[in-house]
Amino acid sequence: MAEKDEHTFNLRFSLSADIPSEAWDDEDFEGDEWLNEWEREVKPGLVREVFTYLRQFVGWNCHIRNRGVSPLDEIEIVMRKEGG
């Protein structure tokens, strides 16, 4: 029976936005629009590009694993090297 060896690597993004004080006084202002843009436009493309890159490597399989953390906060990509 084969033994399993594991290692964790984290790539963390810390997001922030500079919002002018006067914007908060506008009744039509939605303070989280910048975060919605990240979720709608930036993050999906980033994840697609990461998978496109990772799938180039022969013998490596990758998939997303959900460990109960919201995908708004974390996406875990599992990579497994087949055959050593």
pLDDT band per the 50, 70, 90 thresholds, residue 27 = low
* Rounded Cα gap, residues 42 and 65, in angstroms: 20
CA distance 48 to 36: 18
58, part of any domain: yes
Domain count, the chain: 1
Ranked by mean pLDDT, which of 20-24, 28-32, 51-55, 63-67 comes out on top?
51-55
Residue 6 lies in a domain: no
Output the pLDDT for position 84.
Answer: 64
Per the structure, the complete domain to which residue 56 belongs is given by 30-81
Please check whether residue 35 lies inside any domain of the structure: yes
Which residue in 36, 35, 31, 30 sits closest to 14, CA to CA? 35
Q: 73 in a domain, yes or no?
A: yes
Q: How far is CA 46 from CA 39, 64, 81, 84, in A?
A: 10, 14, 23, 28
pLDDT value at position 51? 96
Average pLDDT of every residue of the chain:
89
CA contacts within 13 A on the Cβ side of 77: 18
The pLDDT assigned to 20 comes to 80
In a domain, 9, yes or no: no
